[in-house]
Structure 1
Amino acid sequence: MSTSARLPYQHVCGPNCRDGQHEAEVQEEFQVARRSFLRDAMVAGGTAVSAGSLSLSMAPSAFAQSARPGNGMASHYYIPAAANTVLWGYFSKSAKPVVEVDSGDFLTIETLTHHANDDAERMVQGDRGAESVFFWDRQRKGVNRRGAGPMDAKVGAGGGEGVHICTGPVRVKGAEPGDILEVRIVDVVPRPSGNPKYKGKSFGSNAAANWGFHYGDTLTEPKKREVVTIYEVDATGERNWARAVYNFRWTPQTDPFGVVHPTIDYPGVPVDPRSITKNEKVLQNIRIPVRPHFGTMGVAPAEAEFVTSIPPNWTGGNIDNWRIGKGATVYYPVAVPGAMFQVGDPHASQGDSELCGTAIECSLTGTFQLILHKKADLPGTPLAELKYPLLETQDEWLLHGFSYANYLAELGPNAQSEIYKKSSVDLALRDAYHKMRHFLMTTQNLGEDEAISLMSIAVDFGITQVVDGNWGVHALVKKSIFPARGG
């Protein structure tokens, strides 16, 4: 829906709406989720709706001087997670957008974890948005394509070549290749379980899986095993830590189409609780700090029509940095008209490296502001020449290096499969070095020798992840070491 409508209230029914019941439920849930932001805004459910014009502004970021001017009014959209508002496992430059927005507009976006069917009782049942996405019986799936692979793949449509459920895409008016899209994360809240049995709680799944760095390098038999641990998160926000509920070893699962999955090889396969043995005394009395964030967020690449959501790239994607949460801002180079922003892979918590393959994969709702920086306005600003995802927090700048900065362009026509054979931490570290050198020289006016010295004594390089095909190393520099930027 165009923001030009500027209606104070409009409800657009989604596939699960019945006589306004869904509308009322969404409004109630939305108001609870937004206690800390825009308390009096009017909202509605559906594919995507405008909540009207809001006279709002956010504190400017360090790079706001190149932002596209607006009229001082911003629309606010609410995008629920449903079968018709998500892409499962891929980015696409030509996918139909769920909404088109202006620079400066706000969006509250529901995101679902692709691991919800590891415990459907806790993470799917009673949640009509999740039920529409995860629906799967003998005749059909709620979302058929799951990944960028062929639709006739034996394991399932899309081949599981990409696994993350991403809400969107959102088209940004006026966005063109060469522009920069600034994404401000205003708020992040857990998605409560829809099952009344677990009221006030959220849940997530951690899979120590076959793509994990640890796989096969274990002390006990079987060496190659996959173990899923279910965690509980307080959905009310009163407790800032998660606890383990139980774990189980993956056993071959037969999906509703009759395909057997001996390993975790296709997203959304429902786990039959009768086929597993739950170990309920795990990680007892251990409190895991909750730091909600989005593992996958970015804009569509230009290099291919369907691009797997797993390896990150120069336009963002599956970066898996736990710092991409509330209060953070990420800058993405725009590669296609409209930018085509999408977000998913929500996490309750994750450590640097994401060593076993996943985080606590937990559904979240985020509120974002999208700000477009036009290419013509970038010269002379810190965003000039930005060709990589740049993360800004209150105190730091973080640059993301990958084994291949643009693997789709560098590895040829089979890049989406070849990348898994070629990644290394060495390559990712060198890319992070190159990007930080560029950042220091262009934004702080340092010479190359000055930048290299500063990197060795004041920049922290960390392993972002070693499980996403295109491995990542981030470079972190504190803002406090630089002189105050002039007005």
Structure 2
Amino acid sequence: MSIHSVKRIQSHLAWDNSIPPAIRIKSGESVSFDCLDASNGQITAISTTSAISSLIFAQLDQVNGPVYIERAEPGDTLQVEVLDIETADWGWTALIPGFGLLADEFTEQALKVWSLDKAGWYAWFDAAKTIRIPLRPFAGEMGVAPGKTGAFSTIPPYNTGGNIDTKHLTVGSTLFLPIEVPGALFSIGDGHAAQGDGEVCGTAIETPMKVTVRLTVRKDKSYVKSPQFTTAAKSSQAVDEEYYCTTGIDSDMREATRSAVRHMIEFLGVEYKLSSVDAYMLCSVAGDLRLHEVVDMPNYVVGIMIPKSIFVNSPTR
């Protein structure tokens, strides 16, 4: 299979199905993307806190692409396998006035520039206090173009993906996205070296990245209505455990949670032939609810994660 590439300059600042594709590929082919950080290069390794006040917000959270995948049609599902991620040797975390879960309480701007030890896979938060952060890089933005006409901000998450900021989408994971337009028009960006579930202050360890994914059209997963994914082994707190996750995305956190559970019930019914009653009970005894993204308004991303190990003789697809 061919490996294609999307350059750093091939980026856009809205989800819009009228944007011409940067490249066209066949289903099952791989693409490497060269992405700037979420500031679009406005923050660098030598920046100081003053850089926050000069940010041009209209330039934030750009994504690279879009990629047109042959045979992709509305109603299909795009399978995105994360093959490789290479971060820069630096990153940044900031408090940006007006952003974050506690924006009303933390009103002063702040910037922390990190040195990333890619050999040891960690970064010191505070060496004197021996607080060290393991590096688990992933792309915060992965999505396809919406079926609706118009330009939609890259800041919030949507049912078609976008700024889902889900830390479990590391190398070895697979993301599934519902396709709403011919060709899917996939884009990616917003490199993170590490992040906690929720990204509560509004930024992770933001970093430029090079990421390679394999994009495959699936005709057999039409039940995917919002992002779903499988994690890689050792990517979560339960070492060696792998999960299948369904998500709900809504401006109301309770409704996002309800949607996530409904999607898992449907997944279990299709893939494991469980009745809705049995699937609902299984969600209660084995499913873990997670707040994946709580700061990119107006929408929240809530997931329910089922350990794959409970399906003894039937691996999750």
Distance (whole Å) between structure 2 residues aligned to residue 104 and residue 283 of structure 1: 48
1:140-184 deviation line (CA, Å, top 9, x unaligned): xxxxxxxxxxxxxxx97xx73x83121111111121111111111
Shift of 1:371: 0.9
Q: Equivalent residue for 1:228?
A: 111
| Aligned mates of 2:107, 2:252 — CA distance in 1 | 22
Tell me, yes or no, if structure 1 residue 100 matches structure 2 residue 24: yes
1:273-288 superposed matches below 5 A: 284-288=129-133
- Matched with 2:76 is 179
Q: Does 1:482 align with 2:311?
A: yes
The separation in 2 between residues aligned to 1:120 and 1:224, in whole angstroms, is 24
When residues 484 and 122 of structure 1 are mapped into structure 2, their CA distance, relative to the original with a 3 A threshold, is farther
The answer to whether the 8 Å contact 1:122/1:203 transfers is no
More helix by share: 1
* Structure 1 residues 447-458: aligned runs within 5 Å: 447-458=275-286
Counterpart among 215, 223, 241 of residue 385 in structure 1: 223
Retained in 2: the 8 A contact 1:215–1:225?
A: no
Looking at structure 2, the residues matched to 167 and 391 of structure 1 have their Cα atoms a distance apart, in angstroms, of 21
| CA RMSD between the two structures | 2.2
Aligned to 1:214, which of 92, 102, 116? 102
Task: Give a deviation string over 1:302-356, Cα, whole Å, max 9, x none.
Answer: 1132111111111111111001110011111111111101000110000011001
Query: Residue type matched to 1:481 in 2?
Result: I
Residue 85 (structure 2) pairs with residue 188 (structure 1): yes
* 2:116 partner amino acid: V
Aligned to 2:294: 466
Give 2:8's aligned residue.
81
Separation of aligned partners in 2, 1:454 and 1:283: 46
Preserved contact between residue 108 and residue 365 of structure 1 (Cα < 8 Å): yes
Counterpart secondary structure, 1:169: strand
1:317-336 equivalences under 5 Å are 317-336=162-181
Displacement of 1:78: 2.3
C-alpha separation in 2, matches of 1:119 and 1:243: 18
**Equivalent runs, 1:23-42 vs 2, <5 Å:** none
Structure 2 match to 1:273? none
Give the structure-1-normalised TM-score.
0.58
Alpha-carbon distance, 1:282 to partner: 8.4
Could you list the runs of 5+ residues in structure 2 that have no partner in the other structure?
49-54, 233-241
Find the counterpart in structure 2 of residue 204 from structure 1.
Answer: 91
- Per-residue CA deviation, residues 347-401 of structure 1 (Å, 9 max, x unaligned), is 0000011001111111111111111123xxx2xxxx1322121111242101111
Paired residues in the alignment total 298
Gaps of 5+ in 1: 1-73, 124-154, 192-201, 218-222, 245-280, 404-422
- Output the CA distance in 2 between the equivalents of 1:307 and 1:181: 20
Matched, 1:239 2:120: yes
| Shift, 1:425, TM fit | 2.4
The superposition leaves residues 185-231 of structure 1 with CA deviations (integer Å, 9 ceiling, x where unpaired) of 1111113xxxxxxxxxx1111122322001223xxxxx522222111
AA aligned opposite 2:107: K
Cα deviation 1:271-298 (Å, max 9, x = unaligned): xxxxxxxxxx787532111100010001
Give deviations 1:34-93, integer Å, cap 9, x for gaps.
xxxxxxxxxxxxxxxxxxxxxxxxxxxxxxxxxxxxxxxx111122212xx1113x1121
Which structure shows the bigger proportion of residues in strand conformation? 2
Tell whether the 8 Å contact from 2:84 to 2:211 is kept in structure 1 after alignment: yes
Contact 1:203 1:230 in 2 (8 A): yes
Q: How far 1:299 moved relative to its partner?
A: 0.6
Alignment of 1:292-371 (within 5 A): 292-371=137-216
User: Do residues 438 (structure 1) and 260 (structure 2) align?
Assistant: no
Name the amino acid aligned to 1:182: Q
Off by >6 Å, runs of 4+ in structure 1: none
Provide TM-score, normalisation by structure 2: 0.88
Taking a change above 3 Å as real, the CA distance of residues 441 and 232 of structure 1, as seen in their structure-2 partners, is: same
Cα deviation code 1:397-453 (max 9, x no counterpart)? 0111122xxxxxxxxxxxxxxxxxxx3322221121221222222221111221121
Equivalent-residue separation in structure 2 for 1:485 and 1:444 (angstroms): 8
Q: Percent identity?
A: 32
Does the 8 Å contact 1:80/1:110 carry over to 2? yes
For residues 62 and 115 of structure 2, the distance between their equivalents in structure 1, rounded to whole angstroms, comes to 21
2:90 and 2:128 map into 1 onto residues whose CA distance is 16
> Displacement of 1:112 after TM fit?
1.2
Cα distance, 1:301 vs. partner? 0.4
Task: Output the CA distance in 2 between the equivalents of 1:225 and 1:426.
Answer: 31
Candidates 114, 121, 124, aligned match of 2:38:
114
CA distance in 2, matches of 1:425, 1:228: 29
Distance in 1 (CA, whole Å) between partners of 2:263 and 2:109 is 36
Quote the Cα distance in structure 2 between the aligned partners of 1:283 and 1:392: 37
